[in-house]
Structure 1
Amino acid sequence: MTVRAHDHASRHDPVYDHLHTTPTFVELRRRYRGFVFPATVAFLSWYLLYVVMSMWAHDFMSQDVIGNINVGLVFGLLQFVTTFFLAWLYSRFSNARLDPLARELDEEYNRERREVGR
């Protein structure tokens, strides 16, 4: 079964297709990517450092910090701290920089849908 180009296009919401090209949507996507891509690269790099250090820097990772707590355990626990920190940071960023644009787009979408429905 082949899907013709016009069949695929006819399944899209014309209001969404219009909003997708607006400067507000483009800015929303730019802001989202501007946060998510660097944060993802930073987190994955930090995690990869933990894995690499665990595999090839055993002497360093096994050094005791306090009592039976060693550097490897601290690194491992910091992975959880980093995850929660990034989630909190993203929540603040989203509330301040993304949600206002998303609400604006949602209002525009609902307004245009009502107009199309007439």
Structure 2
Amino acid sequence: MPASAERYLEVQRSEEFAQLRHRLRSYIFPTTVAFIVWYSLYVLLSAYARDFMAIKVIGNINVALIFGVLQFVSTFGIAWHYSRYAAQKLDPLADDIYNELENGPAAEPAAAATEGGNS
């Protein structure tokens, strides 16, 4: 039986849901700010520090090219790290909330089984 709107609101107000939201936000917000700062640094250096970005490091590879490649590396690194973080910290809690929403609190199935056995 699908959960009612009231049940969804109850879950939304629960301590477990607040904890899930806190864990997600405590990862997403700082990571997003750090990445935006990192990306902005790359853009600003490319626009205003051309001499620095043009410094050749190895052969024709300059600082700008290294920063550009590091943008991709950091993007994939963040995605990989978030995947691990979610699997360890978010998914188990989200699964518990989902199971409780779909099946009711852990005490209800036992009570329902007892009632069903008396029929």
Whole-Å Cα distance in 2 between the matches of residues 45 and 104 of structure 1? 35
Distance 2:5 2:42 in 1: 45
Match of 2:99 in 1: 107
**Partner of 2:65 in structure 1?**
73
State the identity %: 49
Residue 37 of structure 1 corresponds to which residue in structure 2?
29
Say if 2:10 is the partner of 1:49.
no
Identify the residue that residue 98 of structure 1 maps to in structure 2: 90
TM-score by length of 1: 0.84
Q: Distance in 2 between matches of 1:13 and 1:52?
A: 48
**Shift in Å at residue 35 of structure 1?**
0.2
Deviation at 1:111, TM superposition (A): 1.6
For 2:112, the equivalent position in structure 1 comes to: none
Aligned amino acid, residue 38 of structure 1: P
CA drift at 1:14? 1.5
Structure 2 length-normalised TM: 0.83
> 1:104 and 1:72 mapped to 2: Cα distance?
46
Q: Which runs of 4+ in 1 moved over 4 A?
A: none
Deviation digits for residues 43-74 of structure 1 (CA, Å, limit 9, x no counterpart): 00000000000000000000001100100000
Greater C-alpha Rg: 2
User: Whole-Å Cα distance in 1 between the matches of residues 58 and 96 of structure 2?
Assistant: 52
Q: Which runs of 5+ in 2 are unaligned?
A: 109-119
Q: Output the CA distance in 2 between the equivalents of 1:15 and 1:70.
A: 58
1:85 paired residue among 65, 77, 93: 77
